[in-house]
Structure 1
């Protein structure tokens, strides 16, 4: 049949769009196929160490009397998740001797799961009160393994997606497993800790990882493709010459290396045994002296190099005039790092111009208020407010997750009703206001009590067999989690809107990693401030960071609106 004859006079009816499965229906679908059930296990495997290392472990540290300043420095292990794109080429390309026969992705997942299981067991055998340095070293090793494990799992999901198990379904199943793990690593771990010692809790979690390791060994995997030329665009005429790219990458690499070594050196000095008579290192002084320079080295130096790359690309003597046939492991790694660290920012800078500074400022400050204090939530609830582990487990990890999901849904609804930037602005304003609730909670909750009494929420709590004390915690967590859920939705939508389709995955990974950078660096100083000034004053001070975020949101809103007007005017003239 000819093409002309095959065309019908009437357009075929569009196939009805099937609603995406959720909840238990999603779980039922997940268990029908080997790939989907494996993805569920991998999602759980990804979420459990993050919950145990970045959240729950601080409850253990607070219980044994570790200073909040030290807990703040300890939380820097979370930078492993922010910086994981730096070593993603190794996980993607390097065959593991002895394990490669398991599969391209499985070999790395098995190795990382084994390291995580061993690390959790070693944490159980280490006393943080007497050997905090060794404890942090083991936790950092576990965080590195967990971040590398996430790289391999993300790649496995993309490799294994097909018509029967599309990537959207696998991603949804992954999130289901991840959220389930956050409850196990948070709420269940706290409930267990109320009935057994913390070391025994972490031994149980290590045992769970051994079980996950067995599941991984039975998972399908894709073969490693033949080595071939990667990043072909970098070898085509018009691309920067390899020597120029190497020089630009060297500057960015040196900046990142300096920043990482500076952080590690201070962390070691902070966690080392105190020298008699010597003044202990100050996290606040370090943050004040080096914090801004570290952000400059990891954000603004790469941005400046990206802008320079754009200028050099316009010079004929700096670009290739013919295809570059050279290949090799060194060239592949250099190309990967250049494509991860320089090229995405170069494209963003080329497309947005000076507006990229407003976008970066927005990303760096948007969630700073929440990110700064998140690591101190458990010590605040358990040690300062004296709630039980069972109460915190329910309020923070069960009730709190439900409120976060409600906030995410609210964010999506507001996007449709009032638009993108009004929702983004709400996401900048609302979460910091929650810090005033926590300040009130730290001072006995007079404002929360008055609010609850006016709405008869105290009577409602008693009717459900609770008390005013638990009601206060639930109200504070309810507001904070709904507000941060809304802000998370706004942030994801914003970053998704500014990334280019060509560099979508890399730009999104790089930009989203910046979200926690300032907050993570500031946690040490905030922990020291909690020790010195108390919770309530510091909560109010950190709420003031909303002014910075709101300023950047308004600047970006005005920039995007002006750009839309210029585009509209140009279209009308055309």
Structure 2
């Protein structure tokens, strides 16, 4: 299943999707941290990711219009990747210590282009994957995404701290985007191509009209927001926590992310795809969601235990494993919720809502909560923050089962 022509390109395309997120998030946090930018300013740097939340606003343009090359979805993917190469290399010409706000502005542009790539990539997944391929496609997407984040997170920290420096590391990361660009060139077109909306007005209105005509629409949107909220809080300033709160160096954090995080991600993504072929969607969401919440306790152990690289490695590895499982199930849920005619807009809405917690709650509130409770109390609280999403999932079990049945009926 993983080697099907429709499925395997999602691995390198997922890599290209995950690469910019860390470079405008955790890695940028680390760069600012070692150059002594204040914690409050680092916290507000998380607002750079706002475009990931608002991307549904321009997603109808990608449903309505196609570029004159590579098909309805791949053309937008390829153009976005070329712009990201340029943007990341330009970031490598600045510094948080001397040019924090110009760098933040440029990072915001990179996020906008990255969000545009994600709109097209998510719609491509809806178009290209057959019903029986969704589990494997979601798994490879998550695996590629995590590999991209590890390359631009763990590997980038090691390279920046020990060999290349921050500026050259950003140049290298821009070059790695070529992996996705090549994949976009060779990826197949869907066997069945849905016709684009005839007008821009239809592209804007119809996706929302179709989605909100479903009686369970609002409950499912709330589930999308809450399902990964605890995970978002735990990860908001995790790099800063490991460096300042845990006392580990950037290279140590990067090396653990690179080795244990990479192994855990591969195991989690492939296991998620295999388990989803056997579990119904609801059971996968519940099981993986519980594990995702419990994985936050690993950071609590790091916060209360003496400095120990093995403890830190186990915490990071467990979080990557469970995060990969939870995201695979979450992606499969979003794929099942989308109408192929409006895939760009509907998936953008769903993924944007999933970013609400990370962007507008976790980033700004995490420094405040850490100030009140300290790092140990904060990570315990993130487990409790996960509970409402799991409770809502339990209450909407019948809705999830209907999505599963509709996919099986195909």
TM-score under structure 2 normalisation? 0.77
Correspondences of 1:371-520 after superposition (within 5 Å): 371-411=232-272, 420-444=281-305, 469-496=308-335, 506-520=345-359
Match of 1:316 in 2: none
How many angstroms apart in 2 are the aligned matches of 1:121 and 1:130? 17
Shift of 1:538: 1.6
Q: 1:83–1:401: structure 2 CA closer, same or farther, 3 Å change rule? A: farther
**Contact 1:344–1:506 (8 Å) recurs in 2:** no
Match of 1:345 in 2: 211
**Contact 1:529–1:538 (8 Å) recurs in 2:** yes
- 2:386 is the alignment partner of 1:546: yes
- 2:93 is the alignment partner of 1:122: no
**Contact 1:67–1:531 (8 Å) recurs in 2:** no
Q: What 5-or-longer segments of structure 1 have no aligned partner?
A: 1-18, 31-35, 223-228, 233-331, 446-467, 565-574
Q: 1:416–1:176: structure 2 CA closer, same or farther, 3 Å change rule? A: closer
Q: 1:72–1:344: structure 2 CA closer, same or farther, 3 Å change rule? A: farther
SS in 1 for 2:248: coil
2:39 pairs, out of 68, 75, 85, with 68
Match of 1:333 in 2: 200
**Contact 1:123–1:138 (8 Å) recurs in 2:** yes
Q: 1:230–1:185: structure 2 CA closer, same or farther, 3 Å change rule? A: closer
Larger radius of gyration: 1
How many angstroms apart in 1 are the aligned matches of 2:311 and 2:108? 35
Deviation readout 1:79-120 (Å, 9 max, x if unpaired): 323432321343455588xxx689987775565345433332
Shift of 1:170: 9.5
Shift of 1:169: 10
How many angstroms apart in 1 are the aligned matches of 2:221 and 2:125? 29
Q: 1:214–1:438: structure 2 CA closer, same or farther, 3 Å change rule? A: closer
**Contact 1:103–1:221 (8 Å) recurs in 2:** no
**Contact 1:71–1:527 (8 Å) recurs in 2:** no
2:57 pairs, out of 43, 61, 86, with 86
Shift of 1:338: 0.8
Greater CA drift, 410-419 or 546-555: 410-419
Greater helix share, 1 or 2?
2
Q: 1:121–1:220: structure 2 CA closer, same or farther, 3 Å change rule? A: same
Q: 1:518–1:153: structure 2 CA closer, same or farther, 3 Å change rule? A: closer
Match of 1:369 in 2: 230
Q: 1:89–1:527: structure 2 CA closer, same or farther, 3 Å change rule? A: same
Q: 1:125–1:110: structure 2 CA closer, same or farther, 3 Å change rule? A: same
Name the structure, 1 or 2, with higher relative contact order (CA <8 Å, separation 6+): 2
Q: 1:554–1:511: structure 2 CA closer, same or farther, 3 Å change rule? A: same
How many angstroms apart in 2 are the aligned matches of 1:74 and 1:429? 29
- 2:396 is the alignment partner of 1:556: yes
SS in 2 for 1:83: helix
Q: 1:184–1:515: structure 2 CA closer, same or farther, 3 Å change rule? A: same
How many angstroms apart in 2 are the aligned matches of 1:112 and 1:122? 15
How many angstroms apart in 1 are the aligned matches of 2:180 and 2:219? 44
How many angstroms apart in 1 are the aligned matches of 2:277 and 2:76? 41
Match of 2:370 in 1: 530
Q: What 5-or-longer segments of structure 2 have no aligned partner?
A: 190-194, 404-410
How many angstroms apart in 1 are the aligned matches of 2:72 and 2:279? 46
How many angstroms apart in 1 are the aligned matches of 2:19 and 2:185? 20
Q: 1:112–1:553: structure 2 CA closer, same or farther, 3 Å change rule? A: closer
Shift of 1:408: 4.1
Correspondences of 1:198-347 after superposition (within 5 Å): 198-208=166-176, 231=197, 332-340=199-207, 342-347=208-213
How many angstroms apart in 1 are the aligned matches of 2:236 and 2:108? 15
SS in 1 for 2:301: helix
How many angstroms apart in 2 are the aligned matches of 1:120 and 1:397? 21
SS in 2 for 1:348: coil
Shift of 1:555: 1.8
Match of 2:192 in 1: none
Q: 1:77–1:208: structure 2 CA closer, same or farther, 3 Å change rule? A: same
Q: Give the number of aligned pairs.
A: 392
SS in 1 for 2:213: helix
**Contact 2:135–2:273 (8 Å) recurs in 1:** no
